[in-house]
Amino acid sequence: MFCYHCQEAKKNLVCDKTGICGKKENVSSLQDMLMFSLKGLAFYCHQAEEFNLVSDKTNRFMAKALFSMVTNVNFSATEFVSLIDEAVRRRNSIRSQFLTAYQQKNQQEFNLTLAEEATWQYEAIDEQAYTDKGAEVGVEKDNESLDPDIHALQETLLYAVKGLGSLAVHNLEMNIESAEQYHFMYQALSFVLNKSNTLDEVLALVTHSGELGLAAMTLLEKANSKKFGAPVPTTVHLDTLENPGILVSGHDLQDIEDLLEQTAGTGVDVYTHGEALSAHAYPAFKKYFNLVANYGGAWQAQKTEFPKFNGPILVTTNSIQMPKKTYQEKLFSTGMVAWPDVTHIADRKPGQRKDFSQIIELAQKSEIPTALTEGSYVTGYGLNALTKQVTNIAEAIKADKIKRIIVLAGTDGRHKERKYYTELAEALPENTLIITAGDVKYRLLKHDFGEIDGIPRLLDAGQSNDFSVIINFLQQLQQSLGLTELSAIPVSFNIAWYEQKTILMMLSLFALGYKNMRVGPTLPPFFTPAILELLAEKYGLKGIDTVENDIDAMLAGN
């Protein structure tokens, strides 16, 4: 096993026996085998696009398969065996169609040296055979045959493509698709099969992936706002009521709507967890009086919080952990999320809602949630709400009442170093504004940051998927201030990264030409010293330091 694509890789180097996330060696090998198979599929899809041979079903399969490998999404060996089989079958079908079309057009056979990924065939659908092959074709294989710096950047590209796959699936749930996104997945995965790529070529694609990540987030924000209404600033309660409940975690708003519709009038309350907290801000959900509160903190606290909820828990998109026996029978997954022996809710059929009846029945027999905390938190500063603040914030900046905007966005995690984000936010001077997105907000939840001329000092833009909202707002602010580039705004980015979507946050800032961002609590372990030096020189990328030093540096524009 060799896995270092998340922030919690063992000793910030690599998980080599069992993943910190709970991923076993066999599942890690199956994921490597799936990526191997997807590269072969992408090679022929990239060639076959010229002949319009790639179907919508193949596009959607590619996105879902990539999403399945995002950190803390899918841990089911059975699921990966099925995905590998389908990837190879789709590759073979498109290969056959492409070779025929190519020969008819060019009056000659397709003649190109093919990587093993494009030619490998299995003898039978066999989990052990796939696992054994996956152990031979993982991350270390390319590391042996490539320049280590090119390998490091190409791994970054692969993680970005996984993040794009997840965003494509989120958009697909909202009936939104982007041909450009799918094209790039094929382009990038087939690109890494080349052994002669230069550092500049890889960096160009890595940067472009950030641009596409931002575009995918923008599409999702528009689709969510169109269907569920533009988020409005909303006070979310953090306590519990006297009815049994269902706890929903993850990002999928359509799943939340389906659940709310089916629980209305049943005597069952719905609580959000993790990044689902932002659902409270959407107008479409305010008619459901049984959407009552947020329960617990970010994803990593589930092992201690889920048993205390007492009722069933639904994980919709990612951030599932190995469940304890105390609540495993009450845990449900849906979408691309899967854990062995955890009940999975099937996808919705066209024109229908997902069937959550078994979860509701279980909730009705459950005890009420055990209280964890009390108080409230304000979320809902989506694009519409932030746009309304542009003029006020611009005037406050001109009057020197707001010295700097600090963007604390990204994902929370288990490392003790993450207390840095709480300490940083609480130590910032009162003339700084904080904008957040993602579940790093849970590091800020319990502090009252006050206001600046009626502007809340803490503005929560929503989920990690809503990072584009922050960028769009800052671009409006840039225009209002008459500045020529994003870096000219008094703004500092401090990204708490964890997995592939938060990697896209960093890459989107590269694409925008923004300089001097911080990434923590540790820098990605797949970056070599030379790549870190390159990114520091070109984009001002840096790790975090002490709270005091970072505040001084950010206030000075560094």
For the cut 80, the answer to whether the pLDDT of residue 66 exceeds it is yes
Is residue 516 within 8 Å of 540, Cβ to Cβ? yes
Q: Give the C-alpha distances (Å, rounded to integers) separating 377 from 128, 404, 452.
A: 49, 23, 18
- Does residue 231 have a pLDDT over 90? yes
What average pLDDT score do residues 233-259 get?
97
Which segments of the chain belong to CATH 3.40.50.2030?
A: 234-364, 380-555
Angstrom distance (rounded) from CA 272 to CA 143? 42
Min mean pLDDT across 5-19, 328-342, 535-549 is at: 5-19
CA dist 309 and 303 (Å) reads 11
Alpha helices per DSSP H over 229-334: 253-263, 302-309
Predicted local confidence at residue 446, as pLDDT:
87
> What's the pLDDT score for residue 141?
77
* Chain region(s) in the chain for CATH 1.20.1270.20: 10-226
The CATH number of 10-226 is which of 3.40.50.720, 2.130.10.10, 3.40.50.620, 1.20.1270.20?
1.20.1270.20
- Alpha-carbon span 529 to 535, nearest angstrom: 10
Nearest to 520 by CA among 27, 145, 12, 167: 12
Tokens representing residue 31 in the block: 């994921």
Residue 246 confidence (pLDDT) above 80:
yes
Q: What is the pLDDT of residue 318?
A: 87
Check whether 48 has a pLDDT greater than 90. yes
Q: pLDDT tens-digit profile of 322-380?
A: 999 999 999 999 999 999 999 999 999 988 999 999 999 999 999 999 999 999 999 99
pLDDT at 494: 97
Give the whole-angstrom CA distance, residue 104 versus residue 106: 6
Per-residue confidence (pLDDT) for residue 522, from 0 to 100: 95
- pTM score, two decimals? 0.96
What pLDDT was estimated at residue 516? 87
CATH number for 234-364 (one of 3.40.50.300, 3.40.50.2030, 3.40.50.1820, 3.50.50.60): it is 3.40.50.2030
Q: What would the mean pLDDT of 185-195 be, rounded to a whole number?
A: 96
Beta strands in 395-490 (DSSP E): 404-410, 432-437, 451-452, 455-456, 458-460
Per residue in 99-118, pLDDT tens? 999 999 999 989 888 999 99
Residue found under tokens 């000793």: 11
CA distance 323 to 72: 12
Residue 527, pLDDT above cutoff 70:
yes
What is the sign, positive or negative, of the torsion defined by CA atoms of 495, 501, 506, 512?
Answer: negative
Taking residue 536's Cβ as centre, other Cβ atoms within 10 Å add up to 13
Q: What pLDDT, on the 0 to 100 scale, is given for residue 142?
A: 67
For residues 536 and 446, give the distance between their C-alpha atoms in angstroms, rounded to a whole number: 34
Cα R_g (the chain), whole angstroms? 23
Asked if residues 34 and 80 have their Cβ atoms less than 8 Å apart, the reply is yes
Q: What is the pLDDT of residues 417-458, one digit of tens each?
A: 999 999 999 999 999 999 999 999 999 998 999 999 999 999
Q: What is the DSSP letter of 546?
A: -
How far apart, in whole angstroms, are the C-alpha atoms of residue 189 and residue 180? Answer: 14
What's the CATH number for 380-555? 3.40.50.2030
The pLDDT assigned to 139 comes to 87
Percent of the chain with pLDDT over 90: 94
How high is the pLDDT of residue 133? 96
Q: What is the pLDDT of residues 121-151, one digit of tens each?
A: 999 999 999 999 999 999 887 667 789 999 9
Per the listing, tokens 């969510």 go with: 224
Which helix (H) or strand (E) segment holds residue 80: the answer is: helix 77-106
H/E element holding 191?
A: helix 179-191
What are the DSSP calls for 433-457, one per residue? Answer: EEEEESGGGGGTTT----EETTEES
Rounded to whole angstroms, what are the CA distances from 83 to 2, 340, 473? 21, 16, 39
